[in-house]
Amino acid sequence: MPELPEVEALGAYLRERAVGRRVERVEIAAISALKTYDPPPTAAAGRTVVGATRHGKFLDVVLDGDLHLVVHLARAGWLHYRDSFASPAPLKPGKGPIAVRVRLDDGSGFDLTEAGTQKKLATYLVTDPAQVPGVTKLGPDALAADLATFGARVRGRRGQIKGVLTDQSVLSGVGNAYSDEILHAAKLSPFAISSRLTDEQLATLHGATREVLTDAVTRSVGQRAATLKGEKRSGLKVHARTGLPCPVCGDTVREVSFADSSLQYCPTCQTGGKPLADRRLSRLVR
């Protein structure tokens, strides 16, 4: 799932490539991907792209005259920039992975795509990003929050730190992958209880959050949008690396599975060498 660094990079790419171009047409191939109906997609035609910004994991393509195309890429969504499109014909609804196509006046544009069968990609055409329900609920930006804000938000929501860090209403921008990386860098167990973190642990966690996200943004920005996903993978130390050696200590990266997700961690770096209980495994054993 694209998280803060990838969305930031997509925004940077659009600022470089799309700003100043006029929207020719917005085509909706997956009706369910468009969550708003007023203003209609035709309202975007003829408007100039004046900016591209980010609210947590939401990408906001800003058009002149106060119109915003706000996109949440969900788990399997992505933005593909095209220098040109093979056909001038409008997209046919319901065919293939392309949910939305935005054509610009120089023949270029971008497709919002979603792989898999779970269709969760969401786009909103609004006059104010605050009209997007998910945006109004966002907590402070995880990368921008200072220590005082960060500490108050994390301690204010009692729960396992993994869940607290990925709760967009606590802090916005961090998802499953970067929370694994941040907790590894902070040498904290994903099951540590947020409200019980010491001042020192909180300061370390805040520093790790900034460092991991800043590094990832630096790696991602400047890459072509199409190669961003691979870049994300190459920078990860524990996430999606179950069974591989921890690059810090050499211990084997382990995993805890949940119904529809999993987390990865290093026992030596994060849990005093003790493996965490994996509910799925223990259920199988029983």
Q: Which residues of the shown chain bind Zn ion in the complex (CB under 5 A)?
A: 246, 248-249, 251, 266, 268-269
Start-to-end CA span in the chain (Å): 33
The length of the chain in residues reads 286
> What is the residue whose two structure tokens read 């191939």?
29
Q: Shortest approach of Zn ion to residue 267 CB, angstroms? A: 8
Cβ 251 to Zn ion shortest distance, Å: 5
Nearer to Zn ion, 206 or 237 (CB): 237
CB of 262 to Zn ion, least distance (A): 18
Distances (CA, A) of 202 to 29, 126, 151, 163, 192: 45, 37, 6, 15, 11
Tokens of 255: 């995993």
Q: How far is the CB of 53 from Zn ion (least distance, A)?
A: 36
Pair of tokens at residue 41:
């997609």
Burial 165-182 (b: 16+ CB within 10 A, else e): bbbbebbbbbbbbbbbbb
| Shortest Å, Cβ 280 to Zn ion | 23
Burial of 1 (C-beta count, 10 Å sphere; 0-12/13-18/19+): middle
Residue 125 · residue 67 · CB < 8 Å: yes
Q: Which two tokens stand for residue 217?
A: 């943004």
Of 222, 231, 235, 229, the C-alpha closest to 11 is 222
Minimal CB distance residue for Zn ion: 246
